[in-house]
Amino acid sequence: MSGVALLGAYAGDLLFGDPRRMHPVAGFGRVAGQAERIAYAPARSRGALVAGVLVAGAAGLAQMLARCTSREVALMLVGWASLGGRSLRAEAQAVGALLADADPEPARARLCSLCGRDAGGLDAGEISRAVVESLAENTSDAVVGALFWGALAGPAGVAAYRATNTLDAMFGHKSERYLHFGWAAARLDDLMNWPVARLTALLTCAAAPLVGGSVNGTLQTIRRDGRSHPSPNAGVAEAAFAGALGLRLGGPLSYGQHEEHRPHLGSGRLPVPQDIERASRLCFAVATLAALLSAVAAEARG
């Protein structure tokens, strides 16, 4: 019944969104922050030790839950807590609604709920691009990844994946503090997300006609542009969304004092606020296909 449990987790996210109180991921983040304060050292070995203990601990707790209840109940509960599709789309649509006003400042402020880039001075088109890119990357990270690892490794796999993803968000920065300490978390996240990003890209190809795109055009964009992004995984997902939506993503962005000029992904027009709703629909379609495919895969393994 693992496939049914995964569908139940996905339905829970669709109906209720993230748990409103005592969110396990938020709790894990607080534990990780405390572990950093206790064990921090600017060394890869120390960061690897902290990441290994925390990821193994999260997987162990999920396995204990499975023993206390059942594998299926644990998979549904851990999966629901790990999925973030409803919240992702709601935040993207909220930014899109704010862009309808003449003043983009409220949309700039709301953008921080989706991504960590510096939104100061961004115009409506640049904010729209940031939202579409965030939808693409987080469709992979916040939805497809949890379902994939749930089908492959059960509740412990989901917990390990979400713990790794959280540690990468906390420590996987190329800042002076985390350049060495966060190296292991970032590399583990890259490893666990490598198959997830490729699956997301294939599912985006399948869903492209639902938003006016084509399967072949999306696949060509992935093959041409997916590897030009500095991230081995985010670039594949973003290129897929660019191809399916007929847009051109990438370009300049900044994180605090760090400025980048990302390679362009896709050969279409630049995003506009109306594309946020299209990208949200694509996110939902990809997530639903991932839930169905993961459920079938889990049942086949069972």
Mean pLDDT of all residues belonging to the chain: 94
Which segment of 54-68, 97-111, 131-145, 156-170 scores lowest on mean pLDDT?
A: 97-111
Model pLDDT, residue 257: 66
Query: Dihedral, CA atoms, 264, 275, 239, 154, nearest 10 degrees?
Result: 140
Which stretches of 40-116 are DSSP H helices? 44-68, 71-82, 85-98, 105-111
Whether pLDDT at 256 is above 70:
no
How many whole angstroms separate alpha carbon 284 and alpha carbon 280? 6
pLDDT above 90: percentage of residues in the chain: 81
Whether pLDDT at 4 is above 90:
yes
Average pLDDT over residues 182-197: 97
Average pLDDT over residues 111-123: 84
Average pLDDT over residues 41-67: 97
The neighbour count for residue 257, using CB atoms within 10 Å, is: 7
pTM of the model: 0.94
Specify burial of residue 206 (Cβ count, 10 A radius: 0-12, 13-18, 19+): middle
How many whole angstroms separate alpha carbon 175 and alpha carbon 166? 17
Which backbone phi and psi does 249 adopt, to 5 degrees?
Answer: -105, 180
Model pLDDT, residue 196: 98
Average pLDDT over residues 23-47: 95
Model pLDDT, residue 195: 98
